[in-house]
Every structure is written in C-alpha cells, then in structure tokens.
Amino acid sequence: MTSITGPQILLHSRSPSLKLKLKPSSAFLLFPNPPFSAKCTRRRAFCSINSNSKPQASTSIVPDLLHYLNHSWTQFHATAEAKRQLLAAGFHMLNENQDWDLKPGGRYFFTRNMSCLVAFAVGEKYNVGDAFHVIAAHTDSPCLKLKPKTASCKCNYSMVNVQTYGAGLWYTWFDRDLSVAGRVILRNGHNSFVHKLVKVDRPILRIPTLAIHLDRTVNQDGFKPNLETHLLPLLSIKPEDTSLESKEKNSALSSKSYHHSLLMQVLSDELNCDVDDIVNIELNVCDTQPSCLGGGNSEFIFSGRLDNLASSYCALRALIDSCESPGNLASEHAIRMVALFDNEEVGSGSIQGAGAPTMFQAMRRIVGDLANNYVGEGSFERTIRQSFLVSADMAHGVHPNFMDKHEELHRPELQKGLVIKHNANQRYATSGITSFLFKEVGKIHNLPTQDFAVRNDMGCGSTIGPILASGVGIRTVDCGIAQLSMHSIREMCGKEDIDIAYKHFKAFYQSFSSVDKMLTVDN
C-alpha cells in the first residue's frame, strides 16, 4: 500500500475513536465539488480520476468506474479502454481473420469495428460440450453524431450539422459545454491508411437555448425544439473577410469542403498530423463535464453514458477479477465470457451489434478449436443448451417525483441491488427459471435483488436479451442497475449498486456451475 505523504485531510467518523487520513487526491470520493474559488482545472481534478495514476487498492470499484467513464466518451474509446485493461490483465488478443489456437486455462479476446468486444476465459477442466457463462452489455449511448457534411453557416456563425442517434432526451443537450470524439482515418504514406481515435478534451461546441423573452410560453407549453433546425451546435463566429478574392475563394471551398477548416484544424492538432492527412471522420458530440460522485453523502454517481457503460465495466471487471490468478480457473469446466456490443440504442442491426452472429460465431469457433479431433454428435448444440446468458442493461429506478409511472409493487430503488426485468410479452428474456437461478447466485453471496415489470398501460423498452436468446436458444436473464435520468446527457445511479452489480457478476462466473446443478427442468 502506498504511504500517505504531504498535506493530509483529517476526517472524523461517527465513531469518536476512529479518524481517517486521506491524501488530497483522494478527496474527490467524499467532496466531489471543491470550493467555488478553485480554478476550473482543479475542479476537474476533483471530479475525475488521474489517468496517469495507478488505481489504489480498494474494496470498491467505483473509482475505477469513474476512470473508465472519463476515458470512454464514445463506443470506440470504451472498447479501446476495455482492450487496454484486458491486455494488462494477461488476456491475449485474437484476430477474427486468423486461425485461433486456444487452450484450457487460456484467456482471450477480440474486437470488431473497435466498438464491439468479446472476451473469454477457458476453464482448465473444460470438456467438449461444457457451458458458456456469458454477461452481455452494450457500449453505445444516445448522442449526437456528426453528419457526413457538417459545415453550416447561419448569421455569421459557423455551425456543425449533426444527426440524432438513439432515443435521447435532446433538450438536455442545450446549454452544455460540448466537444467531439470518435475516430478518424488518416493517410499513412503511399496507398496506406490507419485508424486512430481522437478526443478533444475541451469545450468547442454549444447549443444555446432561446431567451425566455423571445419565447414567453416555454414554461407553460414545454420546450419542444425542432431536431433538424434547433439542434445545431455553434462552433465559432465566422471570420469576416470583405475582399473579393477571399469571397471567391471561400465560395469555391464551400462547394468542395465537407467540414469547417477550423474543426479540421482542431482535429489535426489533437492527432499531431496535417489536415490533408485526415481522409474521413466518424465523430460523436460529447459532454465535457467529468463523471463524479454527488449527493449529500456522495452516494450517487453523476455521469453521462451510464446506460450502458456502467454495466459494461462491471461485467468486464468481474471477468478479469474472477480469473485474476490461474488457480481461479483450475476447477472450472465452463467458459466465462463477456460480450460488449455496439448499436443497441438503434436496434442492434449492424455488423458490430447484437443482431449479428458475432458472439455465436465465436462460441462455435471456440468449441471447434478446443475439440482436439473429438468426434461426437451435436457438441455445439449441447454447449448452447447448457449455457447461460446475463443481459446487463441499466434499469428504470422509481422517480420520487413521478412514482405513478411505476407499477406500485415493482418500483426499483437506488442502492438496493440489481433489478431483474420481467415482461410477459418477451420485451425482456427473463423466465421463471432464469430469474430463479440468477437470484440464487445472489442469495448464496448475500447480494440483494429487485424485480421490475412495466405498468400494463405503458409501453416497455427492450434490450439485447431477447435478440441473443432467440438467436440460438440460450437461457437468458435480463437485469440492470437502477438509475434515474436515463438517456439524458447527464444520468445518475447509486454508488453502492455498482459494487453490488460487480460482486453479483463475479459470483455468477465463480458459482453458477454449482447453482445450475440444483435445478432440473427438461430431463
């Protein structure tokens, strides 16, 4: 453990005999907002995790989640950060285009489109036909994405054309300090190109609201912006140049150039390349405010993209920690897997989404590679029948100001454990069997669970659970961490629920084999 040096903060607990000493760099855990006189850079330091510092030993993964969120502005960055953590934990990266050479006890992963990731660890006692134990989540969140042609000018402002992605609460994007992040394709020599991620870590965009003096009825009638005409972010004031030559030059450029030269210069500065080397961009508009703790007792997490990066990180961390030493796989027959997909917010119908056969193709390859010339009937089919999938997506916590939006007996609360999602019309894939088995894992480890079912007079959302369950016939339970402000630019959830979800997922990997043997259904 690192010793505490330098100035210290002395905290008194409720017990008069117990005092805690914390380094100032750790104070964000208890005091997410510094004094108002602090500079902006200092305030950001309190809200975020220093990317250059190593995570401190702790029983809570919340500081590491904040680190992950602050590094994962887009689905590409979330996948890249997951890749980094898997490599650091000793997982070996595979390529879908190459042969695989897998062994019992091995840990592996691959990415697709750098926005989808599948990682797995093979039990040392694996035999052909043994099960996969999978946790699946998604890396994308509702956001604004740049259109193929972004350059727009109105009233001497340089504007950026955007399109809506998913079902976001778009009014929450107004009056926020925004920037861009995503990926670019760079020219890398003669007839060679390279894919790179970019993140402009400063506010360069803003969507201002209209003054109430010009819209007197907004508080009575509601704020109903036109998503095509009112949702364009401002980039800058367009430089004024009255020379005829410059006007002709700008007119010629505007008909050929897709993006403002200023935006391209900002990207080239971040990438340390020439503007001409940027041949294509795929960027999201992102909120620059860091993820942090909040609430009177620092019991909440305030952040964008909790849906569904909180689930993604808890699943990833559970897989890594469940096999952090070789001995943890020594008695395991199953294959532990995590699958993180893109495009869930728009239906999963893409090559990197859950609607593609990515995970099941990987399962078939894994079974085939580990067969070692085994000749038998239906090895893959037997594997799927024994396997179990946890579809992890954030859940609707009851809102204290809108309690009637929940059925009175199914009101999930923050800080009360994972929410098991039920729907008779199969919007969720949970069944009586799968909910029992997953709850039993929690019960053995003293972990609480809650139940959610939507009101009969309201529509129900869905997840990747039914898509994956019906794709090949794998037993599935839908669950999630309760949250508020879902699909807002700034969401919130309970701090304790993060640790409960992590522990439940880790217990699932380590205990489900024994729990599954307790129940017989079709024999």
pLDDT, tens digit, 9 for 90 and up, residues 198-244:
999 999 999 999 999 999 999 999 999 999 999 999 999 987 655 55
Residue with tokens 């019991």: 299
**Amino acid letter for position 50:** N
To the nearest 10°, the Cα dihedral for 154, 160, 166, 167?
-40
Q: Supply the DSSP string of 154-180, one letter for each residue.
A: ETTEEEEEEEEESS--GGGGTT--EEE
Model pLDDT, residue 377:
78
Per DSSP, the three-state class of 467 is: helix
Min mean pLDDT across 44-58, 100-114, 226-240, 487-501 is at: 44-58
- What integer best gives the mean pLDDT of the chain? 88
**Length of the chain, please?**
523
| Two structure tokens written together for 370 | 């580990």
Closest to 118 measured CA to CA, from 141, 142, 143, 100 = 100
Task: Write down the residue that tokens 């285009």 correspond to.
Answer: 97
| Residue 279 per-residue DSSP state | E
Query: How does residue 1 score in pLDDT terms, banded at 50, 70 and 90?
Result: very low
Task: List the alpha helices (DSSP H) in 40-95.
Answer: 40-47, 62-71, 75-88
Burial of 389 (0-12, 13-18, 19+ CB in 10 A): buried
Q: Which residue matches tokens 């778009």?
A: 170
| Contact criterion met (CB below 8 Å) for 344 and 142 | no
Q: Residue holding tokens 């869905």?
A: 462
Q: Does residue 254 have a pLDDT over 80?
A: no
pLDDT grade, residue 255 (50/70/90)? very low
- The amino acid sitting at 286 is C
Two structure tokens written together for 356:
């593609």
In sequence order, what are the residues at sequence separation of 6 or more whose Cβ sits closer than 8 angstroms to the Cβ of residue 244?
A: none
Peptide bond into 308 cis (omega under 30): yes
Q: Which domains does the chain have, with CATH numbers?
A: 61-141+304-371+379-517 (3.40.630.10), 143-213+221-239+256-287 (2.30.250.10)
The pLDDT, as a whole number, for residue 245 is 54
Proportion of the chain above pLDDT 90, given as a percent: 80
pLDDT at residue 32 in the model: 39
Percent of the chain with pLDDT over 70: 85
Contact (CB, 8 A) for 56 and 290: no
Mean pLDDT (whole number) for 265-281: 95
DSSP state at residue 74: S
Q: What is the pLDDT of residue 240?
A: 64
How are beta strands 475-480 and 388-392 bridged, if at all? parallel
User: Degrees (nearest 5) of the Cα angle 97, 364, 375?
Assistant: 115
Q: Looking at this protein, which amino acid is placed at residue 121?
A: A
Query: CA 433: distance to chain centroid?
Result: 28
Ranked by mean pLDDT, the top range of 45-49, 190-194, 248-252, 352-356 is 352-356
Q: HSE (CB half, 13 Å, CA atoms) of 98? A: 7
Q: List 477's β-bridge partners, or say none.
A: 390
Distance CA 482, CA 499 (A): 13
Structure confidence at residue 85 as a pLDDT band (50, 70, 90) = very high
Q: What is the pLDDT of residue 241?
A: 59
Query: Rounded to 10 degrees, what is the CA torsion of 138, 383, 508, 318?
Result: -50
- Residue 241 CB coordination number (10 Å): 11
Per-residue pLDDT at 376: 72
Contact indicator for 104, 128 with CB cutoff of 8 Å = no
Min mean pLDDT across 4-13, 115-124, 307-316, 317-326 is at 4-13
Q: 257: closest CA among 148, 147, 151?
A: 151
pLDDT at 330: 93
State the pLDDT at residue 374.
74
